[in-house]
Amino acid sequence: MTPILELKNISFDYASSVGSATLPILQNISFVVPKGSWLSILGPNGSGKTTLLKLMSRILLPKNGLLTLEERTYDSFSSKEIAHHIAYVSQDFYPLFSLSVLEFVLLGRAPHLKGFSFESEKDKAIALQSLKDTDTLEFKDRLLHTLSGGERQRVALAKALTQEPKILLLDEPSSHLDLKYQIEIFSLLKELRQKKNLTIISVLHDLRLTKEFSEDVLFLKNHSLFAQGKAQELLTEENLTHVFGVRISL
């Protein structure tokens, strides 16, 4: 399959609060993401999973290494161009402003607007369809801060879908969802991936959902890449036990 995203020898660290020391988060990470695939990133807490997503979304910049998007280096894209390609959904967010759900979801159209123009009827139709797809249309006139964590998570996904990205980055998309919405959202993502050739990269803790929906998996351990490959081949008791340090079977 044609690669859409490639990371070469990516390293990242945070400055320590003590002196000038640094805390290594990722070390020499290299892998390729095929276009239209679903890759799930797995690993114990603190292994760098969320940091890796933020590097791919260009929220963070690597200390070393190179990221390429459709064979172009990241630094050759403007922020608006990146937003045409990539949408990022964080594990949780807390609204800073009193926006309605529809107003918030419409922010996903910002990369497609020219200058200071306002959203068109087409933009609003795309936003409403995204709300419908995520079963949040009934919330469109409510203020964001009145929603539960699970409701906010689905609205955040609706905003990302409204962006019409080629790559969807999801950080623990099922963390606040009950079982019903976990299955519905992941089934929707599976359908969109097939219909729109959408590439999905997700950080997950739920190994059952990973096995059911992901095509590929990537294991992080000790801030390094342990393995990457087909989910059905790598989600073995041996690998899971080695990475997580406890015996796990699926």
Answer yes or no: do 178 and 155 share one domain: no
Q: Residues 73-77: what's their mean pLDDT? A: 95
Domain termination residue (choose one: 127, 150, 165):
165
> How confident is the model over 179-226, as pLDDT tens digits?
888 888 899 899 989 988 899 999 998 898 999 999 999 999 999 999
Highest mean pLDDT among 35-44, 90-99, 111-120, 169-178: 35-44
Is the residue at 183 inside a domain? Answer: yes
Quote the domain boundaries for residue 127: 97-165
Minimum mean pLDDT range among 35-44, 141-150, 211-220: 141-150
Answer yes or no: do 177 and 250 share one domain: yes
Helix %, strand %, coil % for the chain, to 5? 40, 25, 35
Report whether pLDDT(2) > 90. no
Answer yes or no: do 105 and 209 share one domain: no
Q: What percent of the chain has pLDDT over 90?
A: 70
Answer yes or no: do 58 and 176 share one domain: yes
Answer yes or no: do 111 and 213 share one domain: no
| Number of residues in the chain | 250
Q: Which residues contact 186 (CB under 8 A, 6 or more apart)?
A: 173, 174, 209, 212, 213
User: Which one has a higher pLDDT value, 195 or 58?
Assistant: 58
Answer yes or no: do 21 and 65 share one domain: yes
Query: Quick one: pLDDT band at residue 84, thresholds 50, 70, 90?
Result: very high
Domain tally for the chain?
2
User: Which one has a higher pLDDT value, 67 or 179?
Assistant: 67
Answer yes or no: do 176 and 249 share one domain: yes
Is the residue at 36 inside a domain? Answer: yes
Answer yes or no: do 39 and 159 share one domain: no
**CATH classification of the domain holding 51:** 3.40.50.300
Report whether pLDDT(231) > 60. yes
Question: Can you give the pLDDT at residue 17?
Answer: 54
Answer yes or no: do 73 and 128 share one domain: no
> How confident is the model over 14-37, as pLDDT tens digits?
875 555 667 779 999 999 999 999
Is the residue at 82 inside a domain? Answer: no
Question: Can you give the pLDDT at residue 21?
Answer: 65
232 SS3 class: helix
Answer yes or no: do 147 and 70 share one domain: no
Domain termination residue (choose one: 110, 139, 165):
165
Question: Can you give the pLDDT at residue 53?
Answer: 96
Answer yes or no: do 156 and 180 share one domain: no
The CA-based angle 239-189-39, given to 5 degrees, is: 30
How far apart are alpha carbons 129 and 121 in whole angstroms? 12
